[in-house]
C-alpha cells in the first residue's frame, strides 16, 4: 500500500448479474489531500466504482483500500473513512433535514455531544428548513442535504457522485465553492462528473474512465498540456500511397490519397516548418486548414473508442 494514498484500488472488476462488465480492471490511487476528478461519459462505471467503495455494490474481484483499510478485511473502518454523496436523490420523505442528519450520526455511532447537526445545516444553507419535511425540499435543497449527511461523521474523504448533474448554475457555483472549502479544510475530495469543464475547473488530478477502464490518470496541468496538440490538414497535388514520415510531427495520417492530417505540438513546432519540409520533398501544397485541439478533443479522443477496442 502507498502510505499517502487516500484510496488505493488494484485490478477492480465488476460484472453485474446479467453479464454487464461495468469495471474491467481498474487500478487507481487517490492521493491524500487531493481534489480528484473521476471523469467519464455516462455508463463508464463511475458510480459502480463509488458504490463498491461505499459498500453498496459487491465487487467481482480486485482490491480496494480506503484510508489504509481494506474494504474486505476492515469494511467498517473503510466505510467510516468515507462520506459519499450519492448520484440519486434518495430520501425518506418523512424525516426532516434535522432528523435525517441525527439519524445518520446515530448510524455512524457519533455520540450526541459530538454531533454538529445545526452547524452542518448552516454550512449547506438549510438551517431555516431544519424542521421541514424532506418531501417539501427542492431538488437543490435535497442535494445539499445529502452533502451534509455525508459529513456527519467527519470522514477524511468525501466522494461526490455527479454533484452537479442537472442542477442550475447558481447551485452549481455554490456546490463548487463548498467543495473547494472542504478541500481547503484538509478533506480529500473525489468527484465524479461527465462534465469536462467541472473536472478541469476544480480538480488537481483527473482520471478519465471509459468502458470500465482508466484511460488516463494524471495531474490536471499535464492533461491540459496534452491539449497543446494542433492539427493541420494538407491537400497535396498528387496521390500518395502512404503517409510520409515528418520530423517534428507527432503523427501523420493519410485521410485520402491526397489529404494528410498532421498532428503536432503547437508549442514545439510550427506549421510553416512542417509544410516547408513537405514542399522540400517536391510535394505541391494545394490547400491547408488548421484546427486547434482543446481538452474537449483529448477527452473525446480518449473516450471515443468502442468497448472492445482497447
Could you list the residues that contact Mg ion (CB under 5 A)?
A: 46-47, 87
Binding span for ligand ADP by CB under 6 A among 38-46, 169-177, 195-203, 264-272 = 38-46
42 binds ligand ADP (CB under 6 A): yes
Q: Which residues pair with 209 in a beta bridge?
A: 214
48 binds ligand ADP (CB under 6 A): yes
What per-residue string of b and e applies to 275-300 under the rule 16 or more CB within 10 Å gives b?
Answer: bebbeeeebeeeeeeeeebebebbbe
Binding span for ligand ADP by CB under 6 A among 39-47, 109-117, 131-139, 287-295 = 39-47
Hey, how many other C-beta atoms are within 10 angstroms of the C-beta on 225?
A: 14
47 binds ligand ADP (CB under 6 A): yes
Q: Give the list of residues 6+ apart from residue 278 with CB closer than 8 angstroms, or none.
A: 234, 236, 244, 246, 260, 285
* Assigned C-alpha cell, 147: 452533502
306 binds ligand ADP (CB under 6 A): no
Closest contact distance (angstroms) between CB of 76 and ligand ADP is 24
44 binds ligand ADP (CB under 6 A): yes
97 binds ligand ADP (CB under 6 A): no
Nearest to 226 by CA among 305, 291, 296, 310: 296
Residue whose grid cell is 490518470: 217
Identify which of residues 9 and 124 has a Cβ nearer to ligand ADP in the complex.
9
22 binds ligand ADP (CB under 6 A): yes
* Assigned C-alpha cell, 105: 450520526
Binding span for ligand ADP by CB under 6 A among 41-49, 163-171, 219-227, 243-251 = 41-49
20 binds ligand ADP (CB under 6 A): yes
Classify the C-alpha dihedral 81-84-90-93 as positive or negative: positive
Binding site for ligand ADP (CB under 6 A): 16, 18, 20, 22, 40, 42-48
Amino acid at each position: 500500500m502507498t502510505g499517502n494514498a487516500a484510496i488505493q484500488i488494484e485490478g477492480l472488476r465488476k460484472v453485474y448479474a446479467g453479464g454487464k462488465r461495468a469495471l474491467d480492471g481498474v487500478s487507481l490511487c487517490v492521493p491524500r489531500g487531493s481534489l480528484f476528478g473521476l471523469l467519464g461519459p455516462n455508463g463508464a462505471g463511475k458510480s459502480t466504482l463509488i458504490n463498491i467503495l461505499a459498500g453498496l455494490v459487491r465487487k467481482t474481484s480486485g482490491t480496494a483500500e480506503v484510508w489504509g483499510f481494506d474494504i474486505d478485511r476492515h469494511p467498517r473502518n473503510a466505510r467510516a473513512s468515507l462520506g459519499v454523496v450519492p448520484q440519486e436523490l434518495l430520501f425518506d420523505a418523512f424525516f426532516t433535514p434535522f432528523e435525517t442528519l441525527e439519524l445518520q450520526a446515530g448510524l455512524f455511532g457519533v455520540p450526541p455531544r459530538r454531533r454538529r447537526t445545526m452547524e452542518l445545516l448552516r454550512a449547506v444553507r438549510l438551517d431555516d428548513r431544519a424542521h421541514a419535511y424532506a418531501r417539501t425540499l427542492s431538488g437543490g435543497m435535497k442535494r445539499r442535504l445529502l452533502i451534509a449527511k455525508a459529513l456527519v461523521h467527519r470522514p477524511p474523504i468525501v466522494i461526490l457522485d455527479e454533484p452537479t448533474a442537472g442542477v442550475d448554475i447558481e447551485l452549481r457555483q455554490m456546490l463548487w465553492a463548498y467543495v473547494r472549502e472542504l478541500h481547503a479544510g484538509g478533506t480529500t475530495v473525489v468527484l465524479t462528473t461527465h462534465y469536462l469543464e467541472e473536472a478541469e475547473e476544480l480538480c488537481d488530478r483527473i482520471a478519465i474512465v471509459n468502458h470500465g477502464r482508466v484511460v488516463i490518470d494524471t495531474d490536471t496541468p499535464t492533461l491540459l498540456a496534452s491539449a497543446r496538440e494542433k492539427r493541420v490538414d494538407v491537400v497535396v497535388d498528387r496521390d500518395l500511397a502512404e503517409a510520409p514520415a515528418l520530423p517534428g510531427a507527432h503523427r501523420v495520417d493519410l485521410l485520402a490519397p491526397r489529404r494528410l492530417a498532421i498532428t503536432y505540438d503547437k508549442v514545439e513546432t510550427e506549421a510553416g516548418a512542417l509544410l516547408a519540409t513537405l514542399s522540400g520533398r517536391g510535394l505541391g501544397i494545394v490547400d491547408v486548414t488548421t484546427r486547434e485541439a482543446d481538452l474537449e478533443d483529448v477527452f473525446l479522443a480518449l473516450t471515443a473508442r468502442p468497448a472492445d477496442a482497447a
